[in-house]
Amino acid sequence: MKIGLVTDGTCDIPADIAAEHHIHVVPHHVIWGTETFTDGVNLTSAAFYERLARDPQLPKTAQPSAAEFAAAYQTVRDQMGADAILCVATSQRITGAYSSAVLASSMIDVPVRVIDSGTATVALGLTVLAVVNAIEHGANLDERRSRLSAAPPPTAAFSLRSTHWSSSIAVGASAMRSA
């Protein structure tokens, strides 16, 4: 069984690593005043942080829609020939991406399992890379799902604030464990 892998854009996995491991990343959206950007598509990290440092208005974010996840699932199915798809999403306590991913799973004709990673950013990225390792070592879809659901990586989050910018950083520990 060929398993395709999808995650959302908070994973912070560099594009070259995602491409190398066939990880399909569904980006979030950034809303800055009246402008809407798609993270990593028409807004780079460098441009985001440069604007964050100078713009007194803070941005808002929007999760990917169910239609965007469904399109990603179809791309993975069609381009990779995936028989099943595993989607590892940002914690549902942080964003609605998990709910969008679950809703999208009913819109496609291959089995899709959606995991709430319980985390975000770097810890999510490390979790996704651990899934890559498991898939490459022959784990099936349900084994991956049950092992990851049972043991999310330990993480801590903290926030830095100043008068012109705000940033949240999640730090993952031990996420690259072998399952």
Instruction: Write out pLDDT tens, residues 145-158.
Output: 555 554 455 555 55
Return the H-helix or E-strand segment holding 91: none
Mean residue pLDDT across the chain: 83
What confidence category does residue 167 fall into, taking pLDDT thresholds of 50, 70 and 90?
A: very low
pLDDT in tens, 91-139: 999 999 999 999 999 999 999 999 999 889 888 998 899 889 888 888 7
Q: β-pairing, 155-161 with 166-172?
A: antiparallel
What pLDDT is attached to residue 124? 92
**107 domain-assigned:** yes
Residue 15 has pLDDT above 60, yes or no: yes
**38 domain-assigned:** no
**115 domain-assigned:** yes
Task: Please tell me the total count of domains within the chain.
Answer: 1
d(CA 77, CA 118) in angstroms, rounded, equals 26
- Here the CATH number for the domain that contains residue 158 is 3.40.50.10170
What pLDDT is attached to residue 142? 67
Which residue pairs, CB below 8 angstroms and at least 24 apart, start in 50-54? 52/164, 52/165, 52/166, 52/167, 53/164, 53/165, 54/164
145: its two tokens: 């799902």
Residues composing the chain: 179
Q: Which residue blocks in the chain are alpha helix, DSSP H?
A: 15-20, 45-54, 66-80, 97-105, 121-136, 141-150
**108 domain-assigned:** yes
State mean pLDDT over 24-47.
Answer: 95
Residue 163 has pLDDT above 80, yes or no: no
d(CA 160, CA 153) in angstroms, rounded, equals 22
**133 domain-assigned:** yes
Domain that holds residue 136: 3-28+63-172
State mean pLDDT over 55-69.
Answer: 96
**51 domain-assigned:** no
